[in-house]
Amino acid sequence: MRFTVNRRKFLTSSAAGALALSGGGLAMPGLSRAADRPVISHGLQSGDVDATSGMIWARSDRPARMFVEVATTESFTDAQRLPPLVALPESDLAVKRLLTDLPPDQTIFYRVSFADLADVNVLGEPVVGQFRTAPMSKRPIRFVWSGDTAGQGWGINADDGGMWTYTTMGKHNPDFFIHSGDTVYSDGPIKAEAEIASGGVWKNIVAEGVGKVAETLDEYRGRWKYNMLDANLKAFNAQVPTYFQWDDHEVTNNWSASKDLSKDDRYTEKSVGVLSARAGRAFHEMTPIRYIPEEPGRVYRKVSYGPLLDIFFLDLRSYRGPNGPALETEMTPASRILGEAQARWLKRELASSQATWKVIASDMPIGIIVWDNAKEKKGAEAIANGEQGSAKGRELEIADLLKFIKVGNIRNVVWLTADVHYTAAHYYTPDKAQFQDFAPFWEFVSGPIHAGTFGPGDLDMTFGPDLKFVKAPTKEQGQNLPPSAGLQFFGIVDIDDKTEQMTVRLMDRDDKELYKVTLDPERMG
């Protein structure tokens, strides 16, 4: 049975006063009556939840100790108190904590408060968040995915209800949310007003530092803090864990080793290496992504979500060769988009997966042509090179992976992605492809959550995508439509515990179902 909490009741309780802490263990200061108490400045987040653990995140408004209680009841009668952590300016006062030894398939409540480092008796109001751990046995699973938040200058507009696609997603009570990249738009200044092509003015809430492109570490951090000013997103974060990926706009548009900022007057820092390092640090500080000791900045990872689902989160940005024509006929470091280590990891994890469904969460699509130079339609920014022929360039690495999946008899692989700012369903079949040594599979595209709407893009037939559905702006509507135009999209995935069928629905922000397909699992033997 799916656990539900009344939204109004939950939000009220999350802002309620602290309950007295009693019993043994850590001593905590009492709730101060001082007017100037530490504040949880940008809500709570959780993420990377599995059967026995999950990461939580909070940020203080000053140097402070973070106190955390964890419980399996909303009343916190069974709460466990954890040793405090410290929020310091070195991490922009943000703190993450991995909650461990949790019971599987259980709603976990966590309560966070901060105590001022300068005066331990000054304790701020607590805030409550929740998530549900993954199951160890079969049960129904529901999750949502999308991408692209606060892009193209379309920021938080109170007159339009803010980023309310998040509220729409939250109404479906998902187990988790996959943010498929472009989680922030560090290269997209957010001004107080933006003209709407069809008429009218979009009015943004603005904040310090978002009126220009991000270059410094603080400016990159500021992009995350801007998004978390939105009430819809804060409420969603408190109830739904997010698994984050990243793509290009976390740094700057279409960044790779070949990105040249020498003539871009918006940037005083011209080194993409420096910018990506700063952006990467901000990404890991400001999200509840797990820390991987052998590669602290790593984004690709696997999450096991019970016997029905494994999720493989890719990073098509960090290990790619330079953007260019992508017409190499042999696989080299320059022609890769996954990179050798990530490709080897993905093959190994797919081959060892015992889950019914294997979802590959990719930050970029396979068959949609995304040009590095959109005006001249030149160069590959994603996988497809637009040649419509045999696999070349980055397509070689994907062809090798698809062949591996076929030869290894790895069943029920589904790709989910975003990036292109419209929604679509593609079915890839060898009989329509130039490269044919693979088993048929589905790719579903969604987004934006809250950004300009574009598309549709052209398809490259190297892997034979069959367009089953698309929703994008019409020629009459034009491109870069604001969120108020209604073309904001997300997807819902349901896995039935009895039939093991996967049902995928493509939705808009008004919660209208645009497309639905139910996939039967292939059985071994």
Q: What is the pLDDT of residues 196-243, one digit of tens each?
A: 999 999 999 999 889 999 999 999 999 999 999 999 999 999 999 999
CB within 8 A of 20, min separation 6: which ones?
30
Q: What is the pLDDT of residues 291-307, one digit of tens each?
A: 999 999 999 999 999 99
Would you say residue 391 has pLDDT above 60? yes
Q: What is the pLDDT of residues 320-348, one digit of tens each?
A: 999 999 999 999 999 999 999 999 999 99
Residue 433: per-residue pLDDT: 97
- How much is the average pLDDT of 54-69? 97
Residue 33: per-residue pLDDT: 53
Would you say residue 388 has pLDDT above 70? yes
Would you say residue 189 has pLDDT above 50? yes
CATH number of 7-132: 2.60.40.380
The Cα 35–Cα 304 span in angstroms is 45
The string of DSSP codes covering 208-234 is TTTTS---SHHHHHHHHHHHTT-HHHH
User: Which residues are bridge partners to 99 per DSSP?
Assistant: 54
The Cα 465–Cα 425 span in angstroms is 9
Residue 123: per-residue pLDDT: 94
The Cα 157–Cα 231 span in angstroms is 11
The Cα 247–Cα 376 span in angstroms is 22
How many residues does the structure list for the chain?
525
DSSP-derived letter for residue 522 is P
Q: What is the pLDDT of residues 428-465, one digit of tens each?
A: 999 999 999 999 999 999 999 999 999 999 999 999 99
3-state secondary structure of 9: helix
CA-closest candidate to residue 176, choices 509, 493, 499, 513: 493
Would you say residue 5 has pLDDT above 70? no
**Residue 423 amino acid letter:** T
- Encoded tokens for 63: 């140097």
Residue 29: per-residue pLDDT: 52
Residue 24: per-residue pLDDT: 33
Would you say residue 13 has pLDDT above 70? no
pLDDT band with cut points at 50, 70 and 90 for residue 9: very low
CA 466 to chain centre: 26
pTM of the predicted model as reported, rounded to 2 decimal places: 0.93
Residue 524: per-residue pLDDT: 67
468 touches 426 (CB < 8 A): yes
What sign for the dihedral angle of Cα 483, 484, 485, 486?
positive
The Cα 111–Cα 14 span in angstroms is 8
Residue 523: per-residue pLDDT: 81
Residue 66: per-residue pLDDT: 97
- How much is the average pLDDT of 157-179? 98
Residue 12: per-residue pLDDT: 35
Average pLDDT in the chain: 93
Ramachandran area for residue 235 (φ above 0: left; ψ -120 to 50: alpha; else beta): alpha
Domain range annotation of the chain: 7-132, 144-519
The Cα 422–Cα 120 span in angstroms is 50
CA 301 to chain centre: 13
CA 431 to chain centre: 33
Backbone angles phi, psi at 275, to 5 degrees: -60, -45
CATH number of 144-519: 3.60.21.70
CA 413 to chain centre: 20
Q: What is the pLDDT of residues 91-126, one digit of tens each?
A: 999 999 999 999 999 999 999 999 999 998 899 999
The Cα 266–Cα 219 span in angstroms is 14
User: Which residues are bridge partners to 357 per DSSP?
Assistant: 309
82 touches 97 (CB < 8 A): yes
- How much is the average pLDDT of 149-156? 97
Residue 209: per-residue pLDDT: 86
240 touches 220 (CB < 8 A): no
Express as a percent the part of the chain with pLDDT over 90: 92
Would you say residue 41 has pLDDT above 60? yes
Would you say residue 170 has pLDDT above 90? yes
> Could you give the count of Cα atoms lying within 13 Å of 338 in the half-sphere of its Cβ?
26
pLDDT band with cut points at 50, 70 and 90 for residue 22: very low
Would you say residue 310 has pLDDT above 60? yes
Residue 441: per-residue pLDDT: 98
328 touches 335 (CB < 8 A): yes
